[in-house]
A and B are shown apart, each in its own frame.
Chain A
Amino acid sequence: MALSLDKEFCLRMYKQMLTIRMFEEKAIELFEHNLIRGNVHPCIGQEAVSVGVCSSLRRDDYMLNTHRGHGNCIAKGADLKLMMAELLGKATGYCKGKGGSMHIADFEGGNLGANGIVGGGIPIAVGAGISIQNRGTDQVVACFFGDGATNQGTFHESLNLAALWKLPVVFVCENNLYALSTPVREAISASRISDRAIAYGMPGISLNGNDVIEVYTKTKEAVQRARAGEGPTLLDCITYRFFGHFTGDPGRGITYRPKEEMDEWLNRCPIKQLKERLVQEKIMTEETGKEIEANVKTSIEEGVQFAKESPFPSADEAVQDVFFEMM
Chain B
Amino acid sequence: MATTVIMPKLGLTMTEGTIEKWLKQEGDRIEKGEPLVEIITEKINFQYESPASGILRKIFHHEGETVPVTTPIAIIAEEGEAVAEVEIAKPEVPVEIPLPAAVQKESREPTKRIFVSPIARRMAQEKGIDLSSIKGSGPMGRIIKMDILKAPGKEVAPAMQRPSERLIPLKGIRRIIAKRMTESFQNVPHFYLSLEIDMTSCLVLHEQLREEMERRTQLRLTLTDLLVKTTASALRDHPIINSRIEGDQIHLIEEINIGVAIALEDGLIVPVIHHADQKSLTEITSTLRDLTHKAKEGKLSLEEVGGGTFTLSNMGMLGIDKFNAIINPPECSILGVGRTVEKPVFHGGEIKVRPMAWFSLSSDHRIVDGATAALFLNQIKKLVENPTFLLI
Contact = CB atoms under 8 A, between A and B. Distances in A.
Answer yes or no: do A and B interact. yes
A33 interface: yes
Nearest to A256: B301
Contact of A33 (B45, B70, B294, B300): B70
B301 A32 contact: no
Interface residues of B, number: 20
Interface string A16-37: 0000000000000101111000
A251 B44 CA distance: 11
Nearest to B297: A255
A247 interface: yes
Contact of A32 (B10, B44, B299): B10
**Most central of A29, A181, A250, A256 by chain B CB within 10 Å:** A250
A31 B14 CA distance: 11
Interface in B3-35: 6, 8-12, 14
A201 interface: no
B120 interface: no
A311 interface: no
Given A181-B301, A250-B301, A32 B11 contact: no
Contacts of A249: 301
Interface string A253-291: 011100000000000000000000000000000000000
A33 B14 contact: no
Contacts of B6: 32-33
A255 B12 contact: no
B47 interface: yes
B83 interface: no
Interface in B289-317: 294, 299-303
Interface range, A side: 10 to 19
B11 A251 contact: no
A250 B298 CA distance: 11
B46 interface: yes
**Most central of A33, A38, A251, A255 by chain B CB within 10 Å:** A255
B10 A248 contact: yes
B47 A34 contact: no
Contacts of A251: 46-47
B46 A33 contact: no
A69 B300 CA distance: 28
B69 interface: yes
Nearest to B11: A248
A39 interface: yes
Contacts of A38: 12
B69 A34 contact: yes
B14 A248 contact: yes
Contacts of A29: 51
A38 B294 CA distance: 28
A308 to B, nearest CB: 14
Contact of B46 (A34, A39, A250): A250
Contacts of A33: 6, 8-9, 70
Nearest to B68: A34
A255 B70 contact: no
A255 B8 contact: no
Nearest to A244: B301
Nearest to A37: B12
A232 B70 CA distance: 48
A33 B5 CA distance: 10
B85 to A, nearest CB: 24
Contacts of B12: 38-39
A29 B32 CA distance: 13
**Most central of A32, A249, A254 by chain B CB within 10 Å:** A32
A250 B11 contact: no
Interface in A131-188: 181
Contacts of B11: 247-248
**Most central of B6, B10, B45 by chain A CB within 10 Å:** B10
Interface string A290-309: 00000000000000000000
A33 B303 CA distance: 24
A251 B302 CA distance: 12
16 contacts: A29-B51, A32-B6, A33-B70, A34-B9, A34-B69, A181-B301, A181-B303, A247-B9, A247-B11, A248-B14, A250-B46, A251-B46, A251-B47, A255-B300, A255-B301, A256-B301
Given A32-B9, A248-B10, 18 more contacts: A31-B9, A32-B10, A33-B9, A34-B9, A34-B69, A39-B12, A181-B303, A247-B10, A247-B11, A248-B44, A248-B302, A250-B44, A250-B45, A250-B301, A251-B46, A251-B47, A255-B299, A255-B300
Interface of B: 6, 8-12, 14, 44-47, 51, 69-70, 294, 299-303
Interface of A: 29, 31-34, 38-39, 181, 247-251, 254-256
The 4 closest A-B pairs by CB, nearest first: A32-B8, A248-B10, A248-B11, A255-B301
